[in-house]
Amino acid sequence: MARIGMVNYINTAPIYEIWKELDCPADWNIVEGHPRVLNKMLAADQIDMGFVSSYEYAARPERYQILGDLSISATGPVGSVLLFSSLPPEELDKEEILLTGQSDTSVCLVRIILEEFYRVKPRYRVGDAYGAGDQEAPAAAVLAIGDDALRLRIEDRYPFQLDLSDLWHQRTGLPFVFSVCAIRQDFIDASPGVARAIRERFIDCRIQGGRRMAEICDRVARRIPMDCTMCSEYLNGIEHDLGDGKRRGLELFFELLINRKEASPAALPLKIFE
């Protein structure tokens, strides 16, 4: 049996909507969840592989490899990992920032951008990003990801909407990889043929999804809800490969985390399962 984690945001739709149409082996079981849930399940051996936060690999690299040529990433704006702020970023020193509880990678990225790029040191707490505006003492800024970030973009509650992937790209010139498809080393050791077959199926889904993007947008846009044009612009900005530029971006992110003592030094060099 193979237990496969799938992020249940629409950013995986170009892969996942195709996967759901295919006749997969009965013992390939999909488990849906947001990134932090899947991170915990992979670490606890409750799934064997899946799209998890890049940070999960960096935290426990001795346990995993990364399935080659698969990611959730962006070169420039990603559109769904945003810091919504009442102040410009350079004025957030000592201000409170509410962090989503759904993604470890995005939390690490916003801290790097604010502390390393803008040289400010806010105060952080974790909470409900989408419901932040309903609190009696709202935070100065809110980190939201995935479908919550898309909804906040549409509602336009905050004067500053900072796309973290775009800020990363402006500073480094590299793409940012939010999620990798990590696989447990013990699963590779026990079932290398199954691991290869699942990777190949994901690659096929990614290719077909790219060809059928208009159809997929029409299918998933109502989940936000958003119109098909906005959905198309968003999904066409999401990238699902792990080419050389993505690997360099991932390596730089891990290098920064290691320097900040927030990741294992064994995260580099990357271990890619082709």
The one-character DSSP state at 79 is S
For the stretch 207-233, what's the b/e string if a residue is b when 16 or more beta carbons lie within 10 angstroms of its beta carbon? Answer: ebbbeeeeebbeebbeebebeeebbbe
Domain range 81-172, CATH class: alpha beta
Domain at 2-75+176-273: CATH code:
3.40.190.10
- Residue 151 half-sphere exposure toward CB, CA atoms < 13 A: 16
Work out the pLDDT band at 137, boundaries 50, 70, 90. Answer: low
Give pTM, 2 decimals. Answer: 0.93
Q: Say yes or no: do domains 2-75+176-273 and 81-172 share a fold.
A: yes
How far are the Cα atoms of 1, 14, 40, 209 from residue 217, in angstroms, in the given order?
A: 32, 9, 30, 10
Write down the mean pLDDT value for the chain: 94
Between β-strands 81-85 and 141-145, what pairing exists: parallel, antiparallel or unpaired? Answer: antiparallel
Nearest to 83 by CA among 92, 71, 75: 92
How far are the Cα atoms of 106, 131, 151, 271 from residue 161, in angstroms, in the given order?
A: 15, 16, 12, 35
d(CA 114, CA 66): 28
Position 132 scores a pLDDT of 57
Q: Percent of the chain at pLDDT above 70?
A: 97
Element (H, E) at 90: none
| 106-120 tens-digit pLDDT | 999 999 999 999 999
| 28-86 tens-digit pLDDT | 999 999 888 999 999 999 999 999 999 999 999 999 999 999 999 999 999 989 999 99
| 185-201 tens-digit pLDDT | 999 999 999 999 999 99
Domain segments of the chain as ranges: 2-75+176-273, 81-172
Res 134 pLDDT > 90: no
